[in-house]
Amino acid sequence: MNELARKRCKPCEGGVPPLDRAQAQQMLARLDGWAIEDGRLAKRYRFRDHYETMAFVNALAWISHREDHHPDLEVGYNQCRVTYVTHAIGGLSENDFICAAKCDALFEL
């Protein structure tokens, strides 16, 4: 498991700068298959069928609730696109990368 997946998100109510481009790229290198698109961390997961897709989405909802950091999801029959950004700071934070690693850990189950 990625060491980021073992971390917990820290509350973020703003007042701190988002990661700069170099910091974000350094964090991105610790993930597999994620990309930074329009200032957001993004990845598409593919599944065998709708049931598996929805099981992933529901499990991800629980993780998001526990971390109090929520992604934007685009859900289709056998795929889910997950994007993260820390809205309170208008950019990426470590929380986005922690949650991305948790998504990957969930997908590997």
pLDDT given at position 1:
56
Q: What is the pLDDT of residues 61-84, one digit of tens each?
A: 999 999 999 999 999 999 999 999
HEC profile of the chain: CCHHHHCCCCCCCCCCCCCCHHHHHHHHCCCCCCEEECCEEEEEEECCCHHHHHHHHHHHHHHHHHHCCCCEEEEECCEEEEEECEHHHCECCHHHHHHHHHHHHHHCC
Domain residue ranges of the chain, discontinuous segments joined by +: 35-109
Q: What is the mean pLDDT of each run of 10 residues along the chain (109 residues)?
A: 85 86 96 96 97 97 95 98 95 96 91
CATH architecture of 35-109: 2-Layer Sandwich (3.30)
